[in-house]
Amino acid sequence: MQTRRFGALAVLTAAGVALGVAEIVAILTGASTSPLVSVGGVVIDNVPAGVKEFAVQVFYTYDKLALSVGTVVLLAVFAAIIGVLAAKRPYIGYIGIGVFALVGIVAALSRHNAPWYAFVPTLVGAAAGAGVLRWLSTHEAGDNADPEQRRWFLRAAGYTLLGAAVAGFASRWWSTRRSVEADRATITLPSVPPNTVAPLPPEADANLPDLAPFVTPNKDFYLIDTALVVPQLTSEDWQLRIHGRVEKEITISYQELLRRPMIERYITLACVSNEVGGGLIGNAKWQGVRVADLLAEARPKDGADQVVSRSIDGFTAGTPTAVLTDGRDAMLAIAMNGEPLPIEHGFPVRMVVPGLYGYVSATKWLVELELSSFADFDAYWIKRGWAAKGPIKTESRIDAPRDGGNPRAGEITIGGVAWAQHRGISKVEVQIDQGPWQEATLLPVPSIDTWRQWTLKWSATPGKHRLTVRATDNGGETQTNAVAPPDPDGATGWHSIEVDVK
């Protein structure tokens, strides 16, 4: 009879092998078919909005990593409990692996666009786990086992578990990069006519230490989405279907999209989860095809007041049709800062819409545009209580000096960014302690669709000081000082920092 300790280790090892083998098989069947990804996806699809928002606030852009780690920890706890119970009743261990397999198979087959063979990684992994459990169970390390037998058991279980973990992580990395990176490297971006390019004023960037650069490098651009693993879609496999309440359905391949008239624009994107003063915002140069041109070909029917954009993994966002056709530079983007879209930012194609928070507009890995109505369909985040239309609010942020910093007394340049996409910023004011509001210098911008850098010279005196900023848009509306959380339509309030001048 095995002791509870060794029973727990045996089932834990079997569960680790099951996951590791499943990840290896998922190299062939696709990363989305792994049980860890499938179960995690079901959790993401069904978690209450409050829990998701909490995860973003606590784990920031690592929320999905936290979910993966949490899932593994819960599985380990489950396996350990099953192992303790199986110490006296060995069949319980096999029942536990069976439950693991059932949950993984149901989750895999329930995913959007899941292939019929989505169950294979979980099934093969469970079989391997059962085999390992059988192998370990035949080498008892119970109360009557000698020390050498116990040491063998611990080494065998430890090495097996370590090997499964390494194989699993390596397989996950390989399965998410095996072909799409190579495909992306072959893309030659089409040229953009000079009259469709928004030039960048050379003075747009103050080049001030700690101040966010006017153009956010791709590697630093924020990442928030619901994909537990980055979807892997090649340009050859990509196609866009425009359907629903339209006079003419359209299907476009990637090469056909590249042959269409292109525009290039600097556009700032912001996440609705961004707190006041937060970093879930970035500005990039995007290249793509106007959405309005595609919708004009499809000819939306009366009442089609919403365009539902759908990702390859099933995520949906609902954008007002009126916004996409009002003359702004909403586009199907194929490039970011002069290179094909990074895979994690939506390669091959994503949506970019100036003036709207990403949750209602910025769908990555885009494969569908469906003309619908707000009365008939609620997209992913709307079902979870967020506002339906999501216009970006007027906001501003202090970047320099840093909050909690210790600048030296004397002349200091205060700097930051302000944004009101598709309205533009006309004024930024800074308050030092409880003094009067002082108007900052605004740097030029290529359009009203980007954030705007601002600076203010300050003769800093020794001691602690509080700096506050507010912005006014081109419509004359000054951002409110009423503090509100991101839920349901974006955070509000003035950004303040404290410094201790030396």
Residue 293 has pLDDT above 80, yes or no: yes
CATH 3.90.420.10 domain residues, the chain: 194-372
pLDDT at 164: 56
Strand pairing category for 495-501 and 463-473: antiparallel
Q: Which residue has the higher pLDDT, 198 or 147?
A: 198
pLDDT at 57: 57
pLDDT at 436: 96
* Strand order across the beta sheet in which 239-244 lies: 250-253, 239-244, 366-372, 306-311, 316-320
* Strand order across the beta sheet in which 437-439 lies: 437-439, 425-432, 463-473, 495-501
Fold observed for domain 194-372: Sulfite Oxidase; Chain A, domain 2 (3.90.420)
Residue 70 has pLDDT above 70, yes or no: no
Q: What is the mean pLDDT of residues 85-105?
A: 80
Mean pLDDT check: name the lowest of 130-144, 149-163, 247-261, 297-311. 149-163
Distance, in Å, from the CA atom of 86 to the CA atom of 5, rounded to the nearest integer, reads: 11
Q: What is the mean pLDDT of residues 450-478?
A: 97
* Strand order across the beta sheet in which 395-400 lies: 395-400, 410-419, 452-460, 441-442
pLDDT at 180: 85
User: What does the block give as tokens for 9?
Assistant: 């280790």
pLDDT at 197: 80
Residue 372 has pLDDT above 80, yes or no: yes
Q: What is the mean pLDDT of residues 386-398?
A: 96
Q: What is the mean pLDDT of residues 317-321?
A: 97
Residue 54's pLDDT band (cuts 50, 70, 90): low
Residue 62 has pLDDT above 70, yes or no: no
Helix (H) or strand (E) holding 419, with range, is strand 410-419
CATH 2.60.40.650 domain residues, the chain: 395-501
- What's the CA angle centered on 186, arms 185 and 191, to 5 degrees? 105
Mean pLDDT check: name the lowest of 10-19, 53-62, 197-206. 53-62
Mean pLDDT check: name the lowest of 28-42, 93-107, 245-259, 451-465. 28-42
- Give the architecture-level CATH label for domain 395-501: Sandwich (2.60)
pLDDT at 12: 73
User: What does the block give as tokens for 326?
Assistant: 């009002």
pLDDT at 331: 98
Kindly report the pTM of this predicted structure.
Answer: 0.76
Residues 6+ apart with CB under 8 A from 434: none
DSSP string covering 317-333: EEEEHHHHTSSS--EEE
DSSP string covering 354-368: TTB-GGGT--SSEEE
User: What does the block give as tokens for 380?
Assistant: 């992913």
139: left (phi over 0), alpha (psi -120 to 50) or beta: beta
| Locus of tokens 């928002």 | 53
Q: What is the mean pLDDT of residues 410-416?
A: 96
Q: What is the mean pLDDT of residues 451-455?
A: 98
Q: Percent of the chain at pLDDT above 70?
A: 81
User: pLDDT digits over 334-360, tens only?
Assistant: 999 999 999 999 999 999 999 999 999
Our separate counts of H helices and E strands in the chain read 11, 18
Average pLDDT, the chain: 86
pLDDT at 1: 42
Q: Which residue has the higher pLDDT, 14 or 365?
A: 365
Q: Percent of the chain at pLDDT above 90?
A: 57
Distance, in Å, from the CA atom of 46 to the CA atom of 380, rounded to the nearest integer, reads: 10
Q: What is the mean pLDDT of residues 201-227?
A: 92
Distance, in Å, from the CA atom of 158 to the CA atom of 290, rounded to the nearest integer, reads: 56
